[in-house]
Structure 1
Amino acid sequence: MCSLALFPPPLSGGQITLYEANNELVAGSSPDCYEKQHWDPPSLNFPRETLKPHSRPESSSKAAFLDHKDTLWMRSAGAWYMLAYILPKWLAVSSGCVLALIRWMSSFHGSLFPHLTLSGEEMTAEFSQVLDWSDSAIRSFAWHPHTDKFAVALLDDSIKIYNSRSATAPTLKHRLQRNVSAMQWKPLCASALAVACHTCLLVWHVDPSSLSTRPSSGCAQVLSHPGHSPVTSVAWSPSGSLLVSASPVDTAMMVWDVAAENCVPLQRVGGGGVTNVSWSPDGSRLLAATPSALFRVWETRMWTCERWPCLKGRCQSACWSPDGSRLLFSVQGEMVIYALTFSDMTGGPKSAAVVADLSETTFSGIDDITVGGEVQSLAWDPTGERLAVLLKGTEFLKSSLIYFNSSLAFKWEWKRPLNLNPGHILQMFSSLKSVTAI
């Protein structure tokens, strides 16, 4: 098992990690030290002051109505009370008992799944893979799996697309594009981008050869289902034929046929909803994390699933190995990374193994630097060589980005036991918000 104590000490004296060249990390005191490579990536600078949030937040429309504290059930009870003089006494008593039972069931359900008491925006922030999602200038980031292109969702609900082969950076805006929590490009396609929004799921179709900087809203498909919002996670199948969406308030995942704009729910009892979905690269399995201390792994041939309970909390983040045989995941409240190994043999894995210890470690030197904590998000690169880990940090410890060297760098090692080896601790100018594989 690998631990942070085995890592080389992080940079000190104001040095930051700029880039990697010839398998070596290059550091400097400012981005001006950056040397030109074969692709000069765009300089992304989004000051929060220039990103104005939407002028009508989720609760602002309440000001147009008279305030009252009576719920629907309380108003119904008041109506029954006012009409009690013309109703039989037994009916009034039985109605009161039914109302009390409904109130008790509602409060009991809320105690089992506390996230259901949150507003839609609070729920999105709670289950987002982005650190401090509510105040982050960048809400989501998605690399294209086949080309040098990526999409960035910003605080003002706009999405910008950058392409190494074009100087045009289209900006995507839609009236339903609110509180973007996740994005993913469609595999084997250059133009389709799935976006998880507050009330629906949007699929943008943006022609990469177009010179338009502001595609019309007609380029977006709107996919929605009753009771399936906010959408916090999306995942394309490796073939691009199916799209899965998840919502913390819906115990069913929606499997979408985007071309037909219809969906099939996949539902199991328990969990209180689905927070995160992730398709294995070989398409044989699908991870479904829940707000409770369990997650499910579906096999996509017969669509059966296995339940995996967690000890302390819910599954915070997860990622698949390139061949889809291993699943790495982190649990809220724990400073370790677990691994599950799947095979075609009957029975499957019996338990998860700890492969990395991320407990707080202090590196002595000119500046005593402490690194460690809970995992916010995980990302494994397609070659299996590097595993990137974003650590949450605490009130007294800033968030940090580290990476492990994986033993799966070569295909002939994919069937061997997984070993994570020490990589590097990357030093940034400011707190990092999200992590994704390049």
Structure 2
Amino acid sequence: MQKRGGEAVREPGRTRSRLSKVLIDTRPLKYPAYRRLWLSNIVTSVGAQVSAVAVPQQVFNLTGSSAYVSLAAMFGLAPLLVFGLWGGAVADAVDRRRLLMVTNGGLAVTSVLLWAVAAAGFNTVWLVLVLFAAQQTFFAVNMPTRGAAIARLLPAHLLPSAQALGSTVFQIGAITGPLLAGMLLPLLGLPVLYLIDAVALCAALWAVYRMPPLPPNDGAPTSAGLRSILDGFRYLTLQKVLLASFLMDIIAMVFGMPRALFPEMAERTFGDPPGGGVALGLLFAAIPVGSFAFALFSGWLHRVRRHGVGVTIGVVAWGLAVIGFGLSDSIWLAVLFLAIAGGADLISAVYRSSMLQTAATDEMRGRMQGVFTVVVAGGPRLADALHGVGGATFGTGAAVAWGGVLVVVLAILAVVCLPAFWRYLAPGEEEPRDKQH
């Protein structure tokens, strides 16, 4: 503190120092290899969300049928479930940088083909669906490969900060991807939207090309067949900490993700007109906005080494926020609770991802990331089915609130049954194997 005219004045340096302890930790971006991977993640994530909007719109334009739009969702989900597992096995057996180049190139090529189909005016919905499935196949292999590469590029103590930065990328994609698609579709049309995505993916491919080689370590598998995938599951059953981390995510998502009820609640609880309105948009945006806002002030997360405790607190806080959402009759109160849930989910995701990076050996890290991809993709889909039935049976508010109660109860039971998860302590500071200056 300095005094000016008898008044105490806070030194700017101290203020910046205190802010640096609260604002998102950007130290991982000082490592060039990780920075290139992170920048390419932004393009890939936003592009995936753009496709998630553009493809259903193109399918609806061709067919005028919502049934075909639902079919498009299945064409996108199936590759994520199947090739997410296989892609993790491949990531353990080959140079991860090369695999990223192949999958990023495949994403760019499928975007070019979708552009060609739309620009040429082909009215074949099945061609669009097949191309979309191919694109999601490349994405399914790309995701676990990116996750498995991070621990080779950074010291262990920076992994929570890297996961927070990665979460901001995911949330940016979830927020800006649909917004960009919605704004650009009427202005530029579908063909140009696909072409922009393809050009951006080529830029991401260049960023990946400039990363260092990431060959398999000694002891890594030499093939990526069914046996390799099964070895990954056997490994998971022996790693109680990893098993518990996946279980906690399943509990939170399956019982506590009520997005299937958003349309009905927006209309019947929060007063939207039939067909959707402002409340519906607010409900869908609240969780990713909350996660993104909390990520901006996540600079303290890396100082917590009790990652199992962090995950548990995050999941229980998610469940409590979901209970509050289910009991809300005001749209703004509902949005507040969902935003809090988004922040709690970020805490859980950061520590779960960090545990996955540090508790798994490098030769198994790709396969564990593959399981993570399946859990992340499949959990919310199961939640859609469960909440749809629960909402029709018990009413939307009751179904949401009781789902939140189940999250809290089951999370506590999981920790009691797997105490090693609660006691898990993250490793201290060390340099990465492939540090690049």
- TM-score, normalised via structure 1 length: 0.25
Q: Pick the structure with more strand per residue.
A: 1
Relative contact order: is structure 1 or structure 2 higher (C-alpha 8 Å, sep ≥ 6)?
A: 2
- TM-score, normalised via structure 2 length: 0.25
